[in-house]
Amino acid sequence: MIDKLLRLSFFFSLIIVIFFLGYISHKYKAKKIFQSIEPIISNIELKLDIDFDKKFGERKLNFLTFGSNMVKDTNFSYENKPRGKFDDFLFLKLDNNYPVLMASPDKIIWRWNLDKFRNAKKLIPYFLYDNGDIILGRYETKGIYKIDKRGKIIWQNDLYNHHWISFYDNYLYVPGTIFLNNKQDLDDRIYENSFIKNCEAKNKSRFGTIMIINEKNGQLKKEISLIESFYKNEFSKNIIEKYASNCTDTLHLNDVRVLNETKAKFFNKGKKGDMLVSLRHLDMVALIDKDTHDVKWHVQGKFKNQHSPRVTEHGTLLVFDNHFKSQKSRIVEIDISTKDVVGYYSGVDSKFYSTTRGRIQLLNNRIFVQSSDQGEIFEILCNSKFLSDNNCKSKYLFSAVFSGFYPNTGSTVDGGYIKDQIYIGDFYKKLKFIIQ
């Protein structure tokens, strides 16, 4: 009897220790400890229906330390910011707030309840279903969830996810990450005398993967290693060897788009289901074969630290070129067959610069641009076939500056105002779960 009590005491003591380590590490931002324990704490909270932050108190997020977020990088003030009604619904997630659906910049028509989740402001919405279900991911750590419009969890897993995803044929295509010791773990002969094998990394290096997940139950069907895709033959290996310079994050995957039959035809030997990937630190967009996982097409050097490749209906590729020039981003348009730049739009009459992220949405032949760091969304309107600073203009639709709906404004020590950044801001047409 005493032995049983001792074992039970040990078991419960262990649970308490794990919880407090996770909680304390979260409070004081001990990132490595927190990331490993966070899924355990979250599962305990969900199963017991307890919110430890409410029970023990949540340290307020410090909004006053992000100097890059100051209003000077925006195009608007409170008086002239966009306020017009949207043509479609805006599915929006600002960095330090919860996902919402908006009919205009000043009107929220739906807010998802994330009270069941720990540190819910760090949950990123990736996809919105017609019935109000959404896919969420824990930014730069483990945990992908599907919840309904009321916040009830439909399924969850503990997969490491990063950036934006694609939905195709009942599967989610999610950028994932594996961490490897390049000196010890890359022991296959294909890596001999390679940059990623011989470069000096103080810690484990991260390599992008494509996770294919069943959207019905959250189960991982397959994980494609991009390092294996590039190093499996001399042609694609030489691509990496020629352009690689970042030892710890060579294959930084920030987007994956699955091609339908129409868009696949624009690529030589392209086929339905092939995957277009954006590799930030290689300044490269590449096409991965859906069956062999070979690299069958790529374009490099036409942009820098890019995001969000999108194939247009007339056979060009739009890319968010984050670092076009000093303090300036652009949307660059590339002919897929020749890989030549056929046009670009940089918004010469406005401030347009996002050092990180940046997202393009093509909807009904309209081009919407999310300038993430600025917290702004605009549409590009053109009277020419290709993008052009001379023949296109910006129509701004949303600005996060001085937003009365969000607790995202305050003042810095010098009195300047700050604003939030956008993680995702996509437009959706008619949604069944919204009563018209």
pLDDT given at position 24: 53
Torsion of CA 76, 78, 84, 87, to 10 degrees: 60
Is 436 within the bounds of a domain?
Answer: no
Dist. CA 370–CA 367, nearest whole Å: 10
pLDDT given at position 44: 58
User: What is the span of the domain harbouring residue 311?
Assistant: 67-428
Residues 279 and 298 in one domain: yes
Dist. CA 319–CA 299, nearest whole Å: 11
Asked if 328 contacts 353 with a C-beta cutoff of 8 angstroms, the reply is yes
Residues 330 and 198 in one domain: yes
pLDDT given at position 203: 87
Instruction: Express the helix, strand and coil content of the chain in percent, nearest 5 each.
Output: 20, 35, 45
Residues 13 and 141 in one domain: no
Residues 35 and 176 in one domain: no
pLDDT given at position 310: 98
The mean pLDDT values, 10 residues at a time, for the chain of 436 residues are: 66 66 50 49 53 39 37 80 95 90 94 90 93 93 95 96 93 95 88 89 92 98 96 91 91 96 97 97 97 96 97 97 95 98 95 95 96 95 96 96 51 51 93 82
pLDDT given at position 21: 58
Residues 134 and 200 in one domain: yes
Residues 87 and 30 in one domain: no
Residues 55 and 100 in one domain: no
Residues 208 and 339 in one domain: yes
The three-class DSSP label of residue 355 is: coil
Token couple for 10: 């040990």
* Total count of domains within the chain: 2
Is 433 within the bounds of a domain?
Answer: no
What Å distances lie between residue 140 and 31, 34, 36, 124, CA to CA?
A: 11, 12, 12, 10
Is 1 within the bounds of a domain?
Answer: yes
Is 435 within the bounds of a domain?
Answer: no
pLDDT given at position 121: 83
Query: pTM to 2 decimals?
Result: 0.83
| Distance from the first to the final alpha carbon of the chain | 64
Residues 17 and 97 in one domain: no
Show Cβ contacts of residue 135 under 8 Å, excluding neighbours closer than 6 positions.
125, 126, 127, 144, 145, 146, 165, 172, 215
